Amino acid sequence: MLETQIETPREAPRDVPREIHERETFFYVAPPAHVTQPVRPALSSVCYAQMHPGVYKIALACWMGLLGVFVLTFFSSANAMFMVVVDCVYAAMFFGIPWIFHRMTPPGETRPRDFFSFLSGRVDTIYGPVRAGEALLQVILVPLCLGIGGIVIGLIIQSARVAH
């Protein structure tokens, strides 16, 4: 019979120093030199709990601009104008009911703040505070892009009508 011997690893002699690596990499990486962080513009330390009403007015203006593009584009077709009127009724309900509920709430103790001072601050969200300008962009990005797309589509439709 063949006998196999299993070698057990030996411990290093105690007089030989072991190197303890703090990094998980095999290769040596020099520690980063002291790098100064770029100076960022000072933001207001105010973190608002709610958005400024001007943000919602800008978003409403973007949506109304999209509906205005629809009216201008489809004004010559009665069937299409009927659908635009239905869209306008839905928009009136979509924006009107929250406005009515907002008007029914008792006025708060806080005074209205300036829109530009709001933009220099932060807004507290569920994921943490973000800059107010970023929050404004998040709110108006979709209606603004839809409005721009509606303008492009309206121009394409009008140019096709002129060509024929």
Name which residue leads in pLDDT, 107 or 6: 107
Rg (CA), the chain: 32
Per DSSP, 51 falls in state -
Confidence (pTM)? 0.64
Helices (H) and strands (E) in the chain, counts: 4, 3
pLDDT band at residue 37 under the 50/70/90 scheme: low
* pLDDT per position as a tens digit, 78-134: 999 999 999 999 999 999 998 898 888 887 766 657 888 888 888 888 888 889 899
Helix residue ranges, H only, 29-74: 53-73
